Each structure stands twice: as C-alpha cells, then as structure tokens.
C-alpha cells in the first residue's frame, strides 16, 4: 500500500511512469489517460501510455495521441516500459483481465500501481486507489486526483483540460446521464476555463463519421433492429459478413446501441456483434434496470447498471437465443 503523502513525495522527483487503460479504449479511457499523461509530462516525468488494443479513429485527434503505444503492435517495447516503470496508473478499469495479455505483464511488475476507476467490484491488485462508482467518468477522478489530492490545479493546461473534458463528455452521454451531477457541470466549466473548447471537442468526437459508418448505421436501423415489445427490449444483431461488407473499423459500431434504446418504451437495448474471435454484447438500459447483472451472470462481463458489456464463445445465433431466453427472468422489471 502507498499513502497519499508517499505518492506525493515519489511524484516530487522525475519517475518512469506507465499509464494503461482497458481493451478497446473509449473516449473516457483515452481522455483520462492522455489527460493524466499531459499533466505528468508537464511535471517532468518520463511517461508512456500503453493501450491493450487499438481504439476509434475519432479519438486520434486528442493531444499527444501520437505518443500512445498499442501493446498488440509493440509488445517488446511495451514490456520494456512496464519493466522499467516505478509507477503504473491503471485508468478506467479495475480487473487485470480487462487489459488482456497486458494484465499479467502488469501484475508481474514491481512498480506501485495506482487505480483510477469508476466500475463496480475492483480487484485487489493496486497500491493506491482513486475509486468512486458515482463518478461519471474516470476522467472526473483524474481531475479530482490532480486538483484535490495532489492540490495541483494550477497546472491545469489546455491539453489536460481538453482530454479530461472528452472523457467526461463521452462517458456522461454529453452531460445528460444522472451521473452528470452539478459538481460534474462545475468541473466541466473549470475545464472550459482552462482551455477546453467544448463545441470543438463535441464536433471532433460526434460529427466525424465516415460515410461507411453512417450507411452501416442506416442498415442496422432499417434491417437489423428487432423490437420485442413483450419485454420492452430492442436488439440489433450484426454478422461478421456485414462488418466486412461495410468495411467496419474500430469505433464504427460505437453508439449504435443507443439508437435502439431511444425507441419509446424500450428499457433494455442490446447490440450483439460477431467479431472474429467471439461474439460481443453491448447492453444499455434505463432507470434501475441492471444491464451489468445480465453481462456478469451470463456473458462473463460487467460494467455499469445502465451500460455494460460481455462476450460469448457460442455462435451469433445461439448467443442471441440465449439473450432472448434470459429476458423471461427479468420480465417483471422490464415491464415496470
Ligand atoms: P460498451 O458496451 O461500450 O463496450 O461497454 C459499456 C460498459 O461496459 C463500459 O463501462 C465497459 O467498461 C463495460 N464493459 C464492456 N465490455 C465488458 C467486458 O467484457 N467485461 C467487463 N467487466 N466490462 C465490460
Ligand atoms: Mn469510464
């Protein structure tokens, strides 16, 4: 274990630091990682951001994106950085299985591990923890870590603010989920004062689609959306063949599940996609319906109550059948 004062005194001299985040990083994963990165390099540390996999093209504009190392593409280099690090920051995840093979590399490292996360049920692998499931984003916790714990708000630069704003915006549904409290709005305002251009960030993330992506969305909505009124549930299923036909790349499928949830009366939405190695499920729900419980219990996954994910080794058809059969168990809650 590491106390805050021990961590502060470590950070008072230049350290070799690794920042990592979850598989297929999203806006919060990259925003919180590059936000912390911008802060730490400004303080004179030697820092590497290592992601377990690639991530969406609409996040490639983030400040210092070109410094990111993708583990699957540079394994040797990544492992060397982990071996040399004295501190490893783990952002937006709390079990080492969420970062695939990189998880065991990090478990084996003797560096102090700092978890900054907002997911349920953290695994006990860390030495210092900023963990709050009520935080709307890991980026919110990075803000609080820098401003309140390290008392270094004076160092809030435009780059840090831009990255943290991106994380908060993407994980809070553009400041509209219940997790976007008045305090989150205050943090947002502070980040705008520090130079985050909120209108530009929104445009770069959400109005940056390729033509393919938009046509694929049209296909999903016209041909693939299935509404099960008896369960207030909507499902969109996508085959590997369709992904190929539309030339789908990382990031193109993100957010499509929200369209299914936007149908009136729908309490649970599922986006079920046939990836090369397995079938992946993305669930969204409204109110107190526990999407994460379904993912944890039946699909080896987890997440938040209203946004969760999991995977299946069965075929796409069998996974969809399994998902539909589970709905009976939740019928009363779905119809409330
Ligand atoms: P998404 O549907 O956007 O992939 O993920 C939604 C939420 O569920 C995110 O908070 C993410 O961290 C979590 N999640 C997605 N897939 C998995 C998974 O396979 N395992 C766990 N534990 N959480 C997941
Ligand atoms: Mn997050």
Region for residue 247 given its phi and psi (left: phi exceeds 0; alpha: psi -120 to 50; beta: otherwise): left
Q: Whose CA is nearest to atom 12 of ligand 1?
A: 303
- Cα separation of 269 and 189, whole Å? 32
272 near 260, Cβ under 8 Å?
no
Q: Whose CA is nearest to atom 14 of ligand 1?
A: 309
Segments of the chain assigned to CATH 3.90.1640.10: 4-206
Which residues form the pocket of ligand 1, taking CB atoms under 6 Å from any ligand atom? Answer: 22, 98, 282, 301-304, 307-311
* pTM of the complete model: 0.96
Both structure tokens of 240: 């590997």
Written out in words, the top-level CATH class of the domain with range 211-334 is: alpha beta
Task: Tell me the ligand closest to 22's alpha carbon.
Answer: 1
**What does the DSSP 8-state code read for residue 119?**
-
In order along its 336 residues, the chain shows pLDDT tens digits of 999 999 999 999 999 999 999 999 999 999 999 999 999 999 999 999 999 999 999 999 999 999 999 999 999 999 999 999 999 999 999 999 999 999 999 999 999 999 999 999 999 999 999 999 999 999 999 999 999 999 999 999 999 999 999 999 999 999 999 999 999 999 999 999 999 999 999 999 999 999 999 999 999 999 999 999 999 999 999 999 999 999 999 999 999 999 999 999 999 999 999 999 999 999 999 999 999 999 999 999 999 999 999 999 999 999 999 999 999 999 999 998
Q: Specify the CATH number for 4-206; select among 3.90.1640.10, 3.40.50.11900, 1.10.287.1770, 1.20.1070.10.
A: 3.90.1640.10
Q: Whose CA is nearest to atom 7 of ligand 1?
A: 308
Residues paired with 16 in a beta bridge: 46
* Residues 182, 188, 190, 193, Cα dihedral to 10°: -140
Both structure tokens of 313: 């080794």
Segments of the chain assigned to CATH 3.10.310.30: 211-334
């Amino acid at each position: 274990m590491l106390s805050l004062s021990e961590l502060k005194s470590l950070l008072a001299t230049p350290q070799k630091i690794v920042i990592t985040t979850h598989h297929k990083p999203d806006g919060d994963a990259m925003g919180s990682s590059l936000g912390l990165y911008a802060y730490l390099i400004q303080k004179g540390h030697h820092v590497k951001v290592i992601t377990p996999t690639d991530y969406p093209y609409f996040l490639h504009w983030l400040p210092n994106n070109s410094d990111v190392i993708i583990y699957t593409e540079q394994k040797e280099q990544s492992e060397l950085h982990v071996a040399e690090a004295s501190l490893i920051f783990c952002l937006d995840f709390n079990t080492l299985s969420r970062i695939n093979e990189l998880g065991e590399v990090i478990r084996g490292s003797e560096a102090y591990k700092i978890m900054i996360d907002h997911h349920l049920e953290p695994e006990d692998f860390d030495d210092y923890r900023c963990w709050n499931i009520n935080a709307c984003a890991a980026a919110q916790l990075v803000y609080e870590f820098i401003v309140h714990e390290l008392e270094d708000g004076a160092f809030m630069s435009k780059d840090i603010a831009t990255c943290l704003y991106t994380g908060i915006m993407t994980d809070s549904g553009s400041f509209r989920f219940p997790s976007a409290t008045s305090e989150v709005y205050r943090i947002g305002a502070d980040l705008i004062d520090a130079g985050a251009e909120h209108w530009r960030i929104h445009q770069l993330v959400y109005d940056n689609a390729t033509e393919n992506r938009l046509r694929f969305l049209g296909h999903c909505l016209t041909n693939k959306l299935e509404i099960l009124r008896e369960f207030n549930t909507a499902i969109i299923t996508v085959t590997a063949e369709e992904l190929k036909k539309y030339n789908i790349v990382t990031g193109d499928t993100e957010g499509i599940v929200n369209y299914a949830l936007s149908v009136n009366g729908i309490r649970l939405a599922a986006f079920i996609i046939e990836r090369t190695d397995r079938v992946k499920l993305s669930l969204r729900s409204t109110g107190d319906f526990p999407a994460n419980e379904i993912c944890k219990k039946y699909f080896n996954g987890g997440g938040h109550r209203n946004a969760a994910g999991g995977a299946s080794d069965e075929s796409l058809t069998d996974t969809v059948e399994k998902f539909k059969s589970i709905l009976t168990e939740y019928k009363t809650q779905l119809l409330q």
